[in-house]
Amino acid sequence: MRIAYLDCFSGISGDMFLGALLDAGVAFELFEKTMAALKVDAVLERSCVERAGVSATKLDVVVNGEKDLPREEYWIQRGAGDQWPGARGQSGEQPLDHEHGRSLGEVLKIIAAANLSERAQQLANEIFLTLATAEAKVHNVGMEEVHFHEVGAADAIVDIVCAAVGAEALGVEQFICSPLNVGSGTVTCAHGTFPVPAPATLELLKDAPIYSGEIAKELVTPTGAAIVKVLASSFGPRPTMRTEAIGYGAGSRDFSGHPNVLRISIGELAETHSSAPTHHAHEEQIAILEANLDDLNPQLIGYIMDEAFTAGALDVFTTPVQMKKNRPGTVITVLAPLDREPHLRALLFRESSTLGIRVRHELRYVLPRHYEAVATPWGNVRMKVASANGASQYAPEYEDCRRIAAEHHVPLKHVMQEAIRLYLDRQHG
């Protein structure tokens, strides 16, 4: 199986992703053609730069003769304003004034009017829909109230649509992503200063393994996080693969001793067991941590689970058990990438009452999956789709359905049933 592996050791933003695609062999003319189809007033500039000694490709979207600024530098220069938080950090997307903000519907119309393949249009729509969902939740508003000021600007539309077109051009069956270095410190946004990761970024990455490194800057932007959210079918260490092409996409900053680049590796996933049946599941090693708890306030268990997900856990669950002296207890189980095992082990010791943690490494198979948006009478719902050996599994995204049910006072089960019906109608269409 042909795959692409994203090394996010210095985070990810929209322009870093595009630069990595170009460096790996995607034609620059394809991005120029895409931008022309979008009919936006912008120019693409490609350059070869160095980041801490590593040669990388830098792509800039130039609007009105100006390149992007990192968003905290932009807001420091501009001062606070009545804008939505931005979508990019080290690449920066210059925000527009309030009256120039674009709604999700307006953005989707721009994408629909462009001459794109069906798959590229679908990917671009999913990325914007995912971004809008996160913004709506962070600001506690309905989807129709979200206006993209920074991420609705011409440069951001180009970034996201070109990301979809470039991802399709790679011809890979699956994107796999490393744990993401989100940076540390604080970032200045439209509404003030926030700890890194910014609210929308953290919302987008709440199911992904993330960590904070030594660089006190925002490394993962909402645009980059939305791209990963839609494209990546799984997260973890580099799988066994035969690498054919490598690309480095540069961010705007040049950190001393730390290459500010996104690396993409493209190649064939190696078969580790030649006698194994053919399937399309990604194989990876994970750590499983378990602890028995019989003297902990149950109120703390939910907190520990939330903290474990924040620390990079792939999954966390509990099992009721009967322990010694006939006391009821709970087994907490944490699934984690191998590189996050020490952090999660320390978390369990720190936050729970356990005196011992069992750890084992096991093989896990993960089906490739992606999101497809379906338009219900009440709004768009993302369908999570996974497939293997010709069989397909699908389910509506619970958070989308729950939000629609609450906003429109419709039974949740009806929203979910309608989303499934519409998805199946489209498949059999």
CATH number of 323's domain: 3.30.70.1380
Average pLDDT, integer, range 217-239? 92
Domain boundary residue, one of 329, 344, 366:
366
Instruction: State yes or no: pLDDT of 91 exceeds 60.
Output: no
pLDDT on residue 42: 83
Q: What is the pLDDT of residues 359-379, one digit of tens each?
A: 999 988 877 777 788 889 998
Give Cβ neighbours of residue 407 (< 8 Å, ≥ 6 apart). Answer: 142, 378, 379
pLDDT on residue 88: 35
pLDDT on residue 93: 37
Instruction: State yes or no: pLDDT of 231 exceeds 80.
Output: yes
Indicate whether 259 and 295 sit together in one domain. no
- Residue 197 has which token pair? 């990761």
Average pLDDT, integer, range 103-122? 88
Is residue 226, in this structure, part of any structural domain at all? yes
Domain boundary residue, one of 366, 385, 401:
366
Give the 3-state DSSP-derived string for 161-193, with helices as H, strands as E and coil as C. HHHHHHHHHHCCCEEEECCEECECCEEEECCEE
Read off the pLDDT band of 41 (50, 70, 90): confident
Which region among 51-65, 94-108, 143-157, 158-172 has the lowest average model confidence (pLDDT)? 94-108
Instruction: State yes or no: pLDDT of 13 exceeds 50.
Output: yes
Is residue 67, in this structure, part of any structural domain at all? yes
Instruction: State yes or no: pLDDT of 29 exceeds 90.
Output: yes
User: φ, ψ for residue 161 (rounded to 5)?
Assistant: -70, -40
* Residue percentage of the chain with pLDDT more than 70: 84
pLDDT on residue 5: 96
Average pLDDT, integer, range 159-180? 94
Indicate whether 214 and 84 sit together in one domain. yes
pLDDT on residue 70: 56
CB atoms within 10 A of CB 261: 27
Average pLDDT, integer, range 261-267? 97
Indicate whether 360 and 381 sit together in one domain. no
CB atoms within 10 A of CB 241: 18
pLDDT on residue 178: 94
Indicate whether 186 and 41 sit together in one domain. yes
Spatial strand order of the sheet with 315-323 comes to 315-323, 327-337, 282-293, 358-366
Is residue 275, in this structure, part of any structural domain at all? no
Q: What is the pLDDT of residues 266-321, one digit of tens each?
A: 999 875 443 333 445 677 889 999 999 988 998 899 999 999 988 889 999 999 99
Instruction: State yes or no: pLDDT of 96 exceeds 60.
Output: no
Indicate whether 147 and 263 sit together in one domain. yes
pLDDT on residue 285: 87
Is residue 224, in this structure, part of any structural domain at all? yes
Indicate whether 311 and 384 sit together in one domain. no
Is residue 274, in this structure, part of any structural domain at all? no
Is residue 135, in this structure, part of any structural domain at all? yes
Angle at 391 (CA atoms; ends 374, 371), nearest 5 degrees: 30
When the pLDDT of each residue in the chain is averaged and rounded to a whole number, the result is 84
Instruction: State yes or no: pLDDT of 15 exceeds 80.
Output: yes
| Extended strands (E) in 33-185 | 43-51, 54-62, 102-103, 147-148, 174-177, 180-181
pLDDT on residue 393: 83
Domain boundary residue, one of 366, 388, 415:
366
Indicate whether 133 and 215 sit together in one domain. yes
Average pLDDT, integer, range 1-26? 95
Helix (H, G, I), strand (E, B) or coil at 150: coil
Residues across the chain: 429
Indicate whether 96 and 222 sit together in one domain. yes
Indicate whether 24 and 165 sit together in one domain. yes
Instruction: State yes or no: pLDDT of 140 exceeds 90.
Output: no
Indicate whether 169 and 290 sit together in one domain. no
pLDDT on residue 153: 67
Is residue 146, in this structure, part of any structural domain at all? yes
Is residue 342, in this structure, part of any structural domain at all? yes
User: φ, ψ for residue 106 (rounded to 5)?
Assistant: -65, -40
Indicate whether 341 and 415 sit together in one domain. no
Tokens 């708890």 correspond to 293
pLDDT on residue 86: 37
Indicate whether 186 and 333 sit together in one domain. no
Residue range of the domain that includes 381: 369-428
Read off the pLDDT band of 99 (50, 70, 90): very low
Q: How many separate domains does the chain show?
A: 3
Give Cβ neighbours of residue 176 (< 8 Å, ≥ 6 apart). Answer: 3, 4, 5, 6, 232, 233, 234, 235, 236, 239, 282
> Quick one: residue 220, left, alpha or beta (phi over 0 = left, psi -120 to 50 = alpha)?
beta
Instruction: State yes or no: pLDDT of 71 exceeds 60.
Output: no
Q: Taking a C-beta distance cutoff of 8 angstroms, is the pair 404, 379 a contact?
A: yes
pLDDT on residue 83: 42
Instruction: State yes or no: pLDDT of 341 exceeds 70.
Output: yes
